Amino acid sequence: MLRVTFLGTASSRPTVARNVSSLAVQREGRLFLFDCGEGTQRQMMRFGTGFAVEEIFLTHLHADHYLGVTGLLRTMSLQGREEPLIIWSPPGGHSFVQQLITLGGERLTFTVNVRELPPGEAILFGSFRIRAFKTNHTRDSVGLVLAEEDRPGRFDVDMARRLGVPEGPLFGRLHAGETIRLDDGSTVSPDQVVGEPRSGRKLVYSGDTLPDRSTVEVARSADVLIHEATFAQQEQQRAEETGHSTAREAAEVAVQAGVQRLILTHLSARYADQPGVLLQEATKVFAHCVVAKDGYQIEIPYADSGDLAADSNNAAAPAEA
């Protein structure tokens, strides 16, 4: 299971319907936060993600992306958390993020470690990794990629039987890439019974950025691209001045990268009640697009499953033009 819950979809300041930036990313029982705007802990309660966060990744140090850290840590501490937590900051942010931890005054019931994650570096979590890439904003900033390792190809049970392999542990050893020897002295290699490797899933989060070639490169063939769309195209000059993208520009990035699906977030308050303006603009360029609301939730399947990324039944509906 790879699930994303949008905890906040507004830029700069919250509105009645939208909190500021935060994503909850759940993969096979592990929970991560990408950004943590003010009030994130309440959004986590509201949308049922739970608080068992292992690591928080901050894309940059603008207040609407980090101001929720202090409150979230205090909430976790009041709940008696004991498990350590890691916060990854962009380059140069270690001391600042450390201040967020101590801002509440009281000692926490758990340890928080702050580390920096420069562009190009990745954190390995077994069969997947989370990597930072450089983005183009008004201060040092990164985007984030969650990419899984390739999976073994499909195991051909009928072929294995025809080759005389008895059902049981030998099937598993072959599927794991080991050549086996049978009782009659013959050998069976994985390439005889295992198909071509199958690609893992890839989720890309732009953070705040102008449309940028680096995003296109890292997002190539991604299952889902979550890209900021702070403004409509008529505000392009404002977008350039503030280091943001328009909905059309986000869609153009999606086309160039060849992604399967685009989700727009980080909306200016001027579009809070009319997100369809952004959706209409983006879908003229890239059809497989939605504008996220707070609480919008998506599950990302494997490409070879034949399924498309699916909205959860309890998710907020995508905006309509």
d(Cα 36, Cα 8) in Å, to the nearest integer? 9
d(Cα 304, Cα 98) in Å, to the nearest integer? 43
Question: Among 79, 59, 68, 80, which Cα is nearest to 104's?
Answer: 68
Question: pLDDT at residue 106 above 80?
Answer: no
Q: Are 15 and 266 in contact (CB under 8 A)?
A: no
DSSP 303: G
Query: Which position among 64, 212, 223, 294 bears the catalytic label?
Result: 64
Tell me the β-bridge partners of 114: 87
The most distant pair of C-alpha atoms in the chain lies apart, rounded to whole Å, by 75
Portion of the chain with pLDDT greater than 90, in percent: 82
Q: Give start and end residues of each alpha helix (H) in the chain.
A: 40-47, 63-66, 69-78, 94-102, 157-162, 169-175, 190-193, 213-218, 236-242, 247-257, 276-283
What pLDDT score was predicted for residue 310? 60
pLDDT in tens, 226-259: 999 999 999 999 999 999 999 999 999 999 999 9
Least confident of 84-98, 199-213, 296-310: 296-310
Per the annotation, the verdict on 64 as an active-site residue is yes
Q: Are 186 and 225 in contact (CB under 8 A)?
A: no
Residues 6+ apart with CB under 8 A from 320: 276, 279
Question: pLDDT at residue 184 above 70?
Answer: yes
Handedness of CA 166, 167, 169, 175 (dihedral sign): positive
